[in-house]
Chain A
Amino acid sequence: MSAAVADAPDRPVAAARLSITDAADGGLILALAGRLDAYSIAQVWAQARAALDAAPSRRVSVDASAVVYCDGGGLAMLVDLLRQPRAPDAAVTVRGLRPEFQTLLNQYDISLLGAPAAPPVERADAIAEIGHAAATLGRDMRTQIGFIGETSGALWYAITHPSRVRWKDVWYTCEQVGANALPIVALISFLLGVILAFDAAVPMRRFGAELFVADLVGLAIVRELGPLMTAILLAGRSGAAFAAEIGTMKVNEELNALTTMGLDPVRFLVVTRIIAAVLMVPLLSFFADLIGVLAGGVTMLSFNIPFVTYVNEVASAVDLTDVLAGLVKTPVFAILIAGIGCLRGLQTQTGASAVGISTTRAVVSAIVLLVAVDGIFAVIYYILDI
């Protein structure tokens, strides 16, 4: 093979050089020499373009006979010189290029490469933007309503045909959502109880009313904070995991595989996760209630309230209705978290960043809806005087 092969591997041999001379016929000669590759040509390229632009009406001849190596970078430079729009009597020509490089140059259609790289992005006007946004919102809502219907149907089917549910998947998800979340739920609710009790006890001590901290902590944790904090924790932990799992399956075409096997992804993936969440979230919330109330008692020890006194006070303030009022909300939270996580996962577009987008949307919409639904419950309880 020719010298090009021998030159190829050694990168910094002879850097690209350019010398500009005037030809006898009034034209311009750009003599290139050395090695033309992407690492070495930046300067030469700029110089050559400048020389070309400075002589718009002169014939330009690019003498490449001293070029020892010319890869894609060098070819791009030659194409760039050739593609400049010039008058017919001021054309640019390349001569003396070694045949092996000329072959490579010949495979490009210069006129094609002169065209702009990408079609210009059309800027839509404000009205069209609003219209698009509204249409997207409408489509999104339709998808969600469709999803709710499909999921309800699949859940009803699961209730009426319990033997068709994939219980192995359900237990596995229960472990992921429930058992594995115990430490983080315990930690957060313990800290929540301590902070709540401490913040309340300091001002209440001024009225000698430290004991009533027990009422406050008990009611706040059992009715609101226990279930809500557990749900928000699980939205970040399990809702995001559901969206990422299902999203990745979608990207890998596993969902298509399920569909073409005649298996409904909603029954296969969504129902099991919703059942697991509905089983686990109430248990976790009750666990959070206990730990939170206990933490309040531990804090009150430092305010000289014995634990027995604290427990008695909690028992007199919090009755079964309060505990149930808190726990009744939790299955609804569970359906929200698991449903939204799965929906966002199913809505995943293609590509790696799509999974990230789905996960983010799952967590954000779940938390917003959790707080909103909690508010609705508060209003209902107020009206029913619970």
Chain B
Amino acid sequence: MSAPSASAPIVRVEGLTVGYDDNVILHDVNFSVSRGEVFMILGGSGSGKSTLLKHMIGLYQPMAGHVFIDGADIVTAEGAARQAILTKFGVTYQSGALFGSMTLLENVRLPLEEYTDLPLPAMDLIARMKLELVGLEVFCGHMPSEISGGQQKRAAIARAMALDPAILFLDEPSAGLDPITSAELDTLIRRLAANLGITFVIVSHELASIYAIGDRVIMLDKRSQGIIAEGDPRVLRDSSDNPLVRQFFRREVEPEAETA
């Protein structure tokens, strides 16, 4: 499914070392994401998945290394250059992070108001269609506190898509969703990637989602402070010789943990 290897990668991470204070979490991480690809970051709890994502979107400053989004380095960019990079991608956070003082419609409309010159009815229609995509059109007048956690998550995805960015970063989008909604979300991601060529970078540990939508995955590990596997998730499951990778994909408990 991935774009031809000749095209330049849309996201490129080079020599990224991240951590808090003296505590290094990831050391010298390198990978790249192709256009139109559904790229997933896997790993156990505490392996630095979300930390890596937050560095890729420029929220945190890394200890060393660079992150190129569509050719521009988000680590060093400032001012207008940084603003330009930020409009290229949308992000959803684990908790949804909807603005509590606005209705769902207003949440989704906010980026449109700030970045386009469309009239209000047009922005409303776009926002409603985004909410319709995630199955929440009927709730567009509701406040975030009036809908469930899973619905908030879907609304956050609608907000991230408001400007149809080229890249969407999703931090555990299906965690806390029921299997049906989660599968619908996977279909939505697949369809957007196929029809609009949107690139997805998704942090996840939902095996069903990983097999359903992941074109390529990287797997992080706490002990090696970096990537221990990279490739097609189905191939990794069937033929990886790394025991940690096999355990993850086959949901096995570590042998020494069992005996301990």
Interface residues of A (CB under 8 A from B): 1, 4-9, 37-39, 41-42, 45-46, 71-73, 75-77, 79-80, 100-101, 103-104, 107-109, 112-113, 117-119, 349-354
Is B137 touching A38 in the complex (CB atoms < 8 A)?
A: no
Contacts of B137 in A (CB 8 A): 112-113
B128 near A107: Cβ-Cβ < 8 Å: no
A5 to B194, CA, bound (A): 8
Interface size on B, residues (CB 8 A): 44
Known: A8-B166, A9-B10, A76-B129. A42 touches B117 (CB 8 A): yes
Interface pair B126/A76, CB less than 8 Å apart: yes
Given pairs A42-B119, A71-B196, 12 additional interface contacts (CB within 8 A)? A1-B194, A1-B197, A38-B118, A38-B162, A42-B118, A72-B129, A72-B133, A73-B118, A76-B125, A76-B126, A79-B129, A118-B105
Closest to B132 in A: A108
Tell me, yes or no, whether B52 is within 8 Å of chain A by CB: no
Tell me, in angstroms, the Cα distance from A80 to B198 when the chains sit together: 24
Q: Which residues of A contact B132 (CB under 8 A)?
A: 108-109, 112-113
Interface residue? B28 (CB, 8 A)? no
Please name all residues of chain A whose beta carbon is closer than 8 Å to the beta carbon of B100 when the two chains form the complex. Answer: 350-354
Beta-carbon contact of B196 and A104 below 8 Å? yes
Expressed in whole angstroms, the minimum distance between the Cβ of B117 and any Cβ of chain A is 5
Q: For A79, what are the chain B residues with a Cβ–Cβ distance below 8 Å? A: 125, 129
* Pick from B35, B101, B125, B145: contact of A5, CB under 8 Å: B35
19 A-B contact pairs sorted by A residue (CB < 8 Å): A1-B3, A8-B36, A8-B166, A8-B198, A9-B88, A37-B164, A38-B115, A42-B116, A42-B119, A42-B122, A72-B126, A72-B130, A72-B161, A75-B129, A76-B126, A103-B191, A113-B132, A117-B141, A118-B140
Given contacts A76-B129, A352-B100, contact A46 B140 (CB under 8 A): no
A38-B119 Cα distance, complex, nearest whole Å: 11
Which of A8, A75, A353 is in CB contact (< 8 Å) with B35? A8
Q: Is the CB of B101 within 8 A of A353?
A: yes
Of A4, A39, A354, which is within 8 A of B196 by CB? Answer: A4
Q: How far is the CA of A42 from the CA of B116 in the complex (A)?
A: 8
Interface string of B157-198 (1 = CB under 8 A from A): 000011110100000000000000000000000010011111
Expressed in whole angstroms, the Cα–Cα distance for A45 and B123 within the complex equals 12
- Does B112 belong to the interface (CB within 8 Å)? yes
Enumerate chain A residues within 8 angstroms of B1, measured Cβ to Cβ: 1
Residues of A within 8 Å of B140, CB to CB, are 117-118
B144 contacts chain A at the CB level, 8 A cutoff: yes
Task: Tell me if A1 and B36 are in contact (CB < 8 A).
Answer: yes
- B36–A350 touching, CB < 8 Å: no
Complex interface: chain B residues within 8 A of A100 (CB): 194-196
Do B126 and A8 touch across chains, with their CB atoms under 8 A apart? no
Complex Cα distance, B35 from A350, in Å, reads 40
The reply on B230 being an interface residue by CB < 8 A is no
- Interface set, chain B 1-24, CB cutoff 8 A to A: 1, 3, 7, 10
Complexed CA–CA distance, A45 and B126 (Å) = 12
* Chain B residue nearest to A120 in the complex (CB): B141
Contact of B125 among A8, A80, A353, A354 (CB under 8 A): A80
Q: In the complex, how many angstroms separate the beta carbon of A14 from the nearest chain B beta carbon? A: 16
CB distance from B213 to the nearest CB of A (A): 15
Query: A107: nearest residue on chain B (CB-CB)?
Result: B133
A-B contact count (CB 8 A): 115
Q: Given contacts A72-B161, A75-B129, A119-B141, is CB(A9)–CB(B118) below 8 Å?
A: no
Fill in one digit per residue for B35-49: 1 if any A CB lies within 8 Å of its CB, else 0.
110000000000000
Q: For A42, what are the chain B residues with a Cβ–Cβ distance below 8 Å? A: 116-119, 122
Q: How distant is the Cα of A41 from the Cα of B116 in the complex, in angstroms?
A: 9
Note all chain B residues with C-beta closer than 8 A to A103: 191, 195
Digitize B44-76: 1 where CB-to-A-CB distance is under 8 Å, 0 elsewhere.
000000000000000000000000001000000
A39 to B198, CA, bound (A): 17
Taking the nearest CB of chain B, how far is it from the CB of A183, in angstroms?
Answer: 30
Chain A contacts for B101, CB-based, 8 A: 351-353
| Closest beta carbon of chain A to B33's beta carbon, Å | 12
Q: Determine if B232 is an interface residue (Cβ-Cβ < 8 Å).
A: no
Given contacts A1-B197, A76-B122, contact A39 B191 (CB under 8 A): no
Distance of A352 Cα from B10 Cα, bound (Å): 35
Option from A38, A101, A349 in Cβ contact (under 8 Å) with B164: A38
Are A45 and B35 closer than 8 Å at their CB atoms? no
Which residue of B is nearest A351, CB measured?
B100
Compute how far the CA of A352 lies from the CA of B88 in the bound complex, rounded to whole angstroms.
28
With most chain A CB atoms within 10 A of its CB, the pick from B115, B129, B140 is: B129
Assembled-state Cα–Cα distance A7/B7 (Å): 12
Contact indicator per residue, chain B 67-108, by CB within 8 Å of chain A (1) or not (0)? 000100000000000000000100000000000110101000
The residue that A104 contacts in the complex, of B3, B115, B124, B195, with Cβ under 8 A, is B195
Q: Are A41 and B118 in contact (CB under 8 A)?
A: yes
A117/B36 in contact, CB under 8 A: no
Q: B196 to chain A: which residues have CB within 8 Å?
A: 4, 8, 71, 100, 104
CA distance A12 to B105 in the complex (A): 27
**Which residues in B have their C-beta under 8 angstroms from that of A39?**
115-116, 163
Question: Contact partner of A7 among B143, B164, B191, B197, CB < 8 A?
Answer: B197
Contact indicator B36/A38 (Cβ below 8 Å): no
The docked-state distance in angstroms from the alpha carbon of A157 to that of B7 is 72
Q: How far is the CB of A85 from chain B (nearest CB, A)?
A: 15
Which A residues touch B141, using CB under 8 A? 117-119
CA distance A39 to B126 in the complex (A): 12
**Least distance between B92 CB and chain A CB atoms (Å):** 16
The distance in angstroms between the C-alpha atoms of A117 and B103, with both chains bound, is 12
Q: Output the nearest chain A residue to B133 by Cβ-Cβ distance.
A: A107
